[in-house]
Amino acid sequence: MNWMQLSVERVVMGRLAASAFALLAMAMPALAGDRALIDYVGFSQDFRYFAFEEFGIQDGSGFAYSSLYVVDLDTDSWVVGTPVRFQAETEETSLQAVRDTVVEKALGHMAEFKIDVPVEIAAMIGDGASDTDGKTIKFGAPSYLPGAVSGNYTLGLTSFPTVATSPCAEWFDVAPMGYELTIADSGTSRLVHRDQNLPRSRGCPMEYRIHSVVMPFQGATLSNAVAIISVYPGGFEGPDRRFLAVPLGL
């Protein structure tokens, strides 16, 4: 299914999804903070670009929002013109409608970068998985046979105080945290990423967790793998949850 088809299906399903979401929201207790969810959009045909959507309900206002990121994995940076963002201006605008709008706004980017390759999830720490600290995850490239993988890798995540562009001490009375990500294989370890001064787009992070490792379908190798990191910046009613995509092949 391509993104044009997905756009049409989302519009058709919008009314039913909005009604179901409203009933679910009425049954759920109010929680502090804004915990975004993630949708893996796909990879480009040459595996250079990776797109994902981050969406949820904003704390404080209760307005739905969606942001779609296209990451250039060769340069570890967003492509020009992204993220594509849209936020509702009233609580009456459903999350489904907001996501549909972002899909429509992002179709040009999907076509330009030929992002139509499905995502393989190599490993994931689900939000409901208990007794996990989100600091390590083991994975390999998925293979055909059940349980068979290629490679045996371990990601390790640590965090440390650093300097942010945002005035974190003034806003939240905390030191902003950066992260370091390493990957180990057969006893050898390699640094994947270590933060320096944080960009303004990161806000004031208080915590990081490994969320998942994804690869392109029929291109599932470490050179094309992307780590998805949950980052928790300070928000209106408590720490929010957002996502970072970190290429592992660099």
The answer to whether 32 and 237 are in contact (CB under 8 A) is yes
Whether the predicted pLDDT of 60 surpasses 60: yes
Whether the predicted pLDDT of 15 surpasses 80: no
Average pLDDT value for residue range 116-144: 95
Asked whether residue 90 falls in the same domain as residue 128, the answer is no
**Domain end (from 116, 131, 163):** 116
Q: What is the pLDDT of residues 177-186, one digit of tens each?
A: 999 999 999 8
Report the predicted TM-score, pTM, of the whole model to 2 decimal places: 0.86
Whether the predicted pLDDT of 18 surpasses 50: no
Asked whether residue 243 falls in the same domain as residue 132, the answer is yes
Asked whether residue 142 falls in the same domain as residue 92, the answer is no
The answer to whether 245 and 225 are in contact (CB under 8 A) is no
- Cα(242)–Cα(55) distance, rounded to whole angstroms? 9
The answer to whether 121 and 217 are in contact (CB under 8 A) is no
**How does DSSP classify residue 127?**
T
Q: How many domains does the chain have?
A: 2
Closest CA to 119 of 96, 142, 88: 142
Asked whether residue 140 falls in the same domain as residue 177, the answer is yes
Average pLDDT value for residue range 106-120: 97
Is 29 exposed, middle or buried (CB count within 10 Å of its CB: 0-12, 13-18, 19+)?
A: exposed
Other CB atoms within 10 Å distance of the CB of residue 211: 22
- Cα(198)–Cα(174) distance, rounded to whole angstroms? 14
Asked whether residue 12 falls in the same domain as residue 106, the answer is yes
Asked whether residue 153 falls in the same domain as residue 214, the answer is yes
Domain hosting residue 209, numbered range: 119-247
Asked whether residue 127 falls in the same domain as residue 215, the answer is yes
Residue 149's H or E segment, with its range, is strand 149-161
Whether the predicted pLDDT of 22 surpasses 60: no
Q: What is the pLDDT of residues 189-220, one digit of tens each?
A: 999 999 999 999 999 999 999 999 999 999 99
Asked whether residue 100 falls in the same domain as residue 181, the answer is no
Asked whether residue 112 falls in the same domain as residue 123, the answer is no
Q: For residue 32, what are the contacts with CB-CB under 8 A and spacing of at least 6?
A: 59, 237, 238
Asked whether residue 82 falls in the same domain as residue 147, the answer is no
The answer to whether 59 and 34 are in contact (CB under 8 A) is yes
Asked whether residue 123 falls in the same domain as residue 243, the answer is yes
Asked whether residue 199 falls in the same domain as residue 179, the answer is yes
Average pLDDT value for residue range 143-167: 93
